[in-house]
Structure 1
Amino acid sequence: MVKFCCCLKQLNLDRLLARMWEEMGLVRVYTKPQGQQPDFDEPFVLSADRGGCTVEDFCNHVHKTLVKDMKYALVWGRSARHYPQHCGLSHRLEDEDVVQIVKKKEREEGGRGRFKTHSNAPARIADREKKAPLKQ
């Protein structure tokens, strides 16, 4: 009988704790590094009343420059329609969601896309060295 009462007390405290999280409007968000398992040990705690619960608020909570570097976010959890869902900054996060931030690639100098210059040759044709004419 004593074991049953202890289990019942623990169950009631778990329900009370869950109810407190709901009433206070707190949201736990877990991080997932690329290529690794999610880190369920230390969640980021966001508040709907104070800061908000969007991906942008999460990025600002992690680091203030992360919003500028973010390309998109991958979200797993109740707020996602499918796993993983590509999301932008305005996506609303729910309790115990898992978020992976994908950052923009750093730009390389010397052009864009497939028109990048990969050689050290002069840009103008007139500035290139003249080669000897072919012998016949």
Structure 2
Amino acid sequence: MWKVDPAQARLMLHHVMRGHWSFSAALAALGDAPVPQETLARRLQGSLPGKSRRGLYLVDWLVMALVVHRGDDQQVHPARLSAAAETQTPHPAREPRAVMNMTNEQLFLLDDDAYVAVMRSVSAMFAGLTVS
């Protein structure tokens, strides 16, 4: 049986997301001041085809990946990881290069329904890692 470690899973996702275009785009859009998550979603949505909710899904992923932090007031700002967490590469030999065996380019080309299905599947996997 695999060890369940939500913190390690989020840290691994962080390292995967560092190579995704949304990582630098989100940090550039945020600057130093918190912004409403809808504002960040709109800025990120500008690069995505399809419906506006894709930007919100992307904000959710950035939160899960410890790239941004969302407060109770739905304001987002850059997350602060320790220097050790930033440089640590968990399981470098097995670090994934794709989400659900799809590259960023393949995800970008999905129609809305397929994209939502993939995001729900991955989200369901992470939900299974949460500790009650």
Question: Into which bin does the TM-score normalised by the smaller protein fall?
Answer: under 0.3
Structure with more of its chain in strand, by fraction? 1
Structure with greater helix share of residues: 2
Whose RCO is larger (CA < 8 A, sep 6+)?
2
TM-score, normalising length from structure 2?
A: 0.27
Which has more radius of gyration?
Answer: 1
| TM-score, normalised relative to structure 1 | 0.26
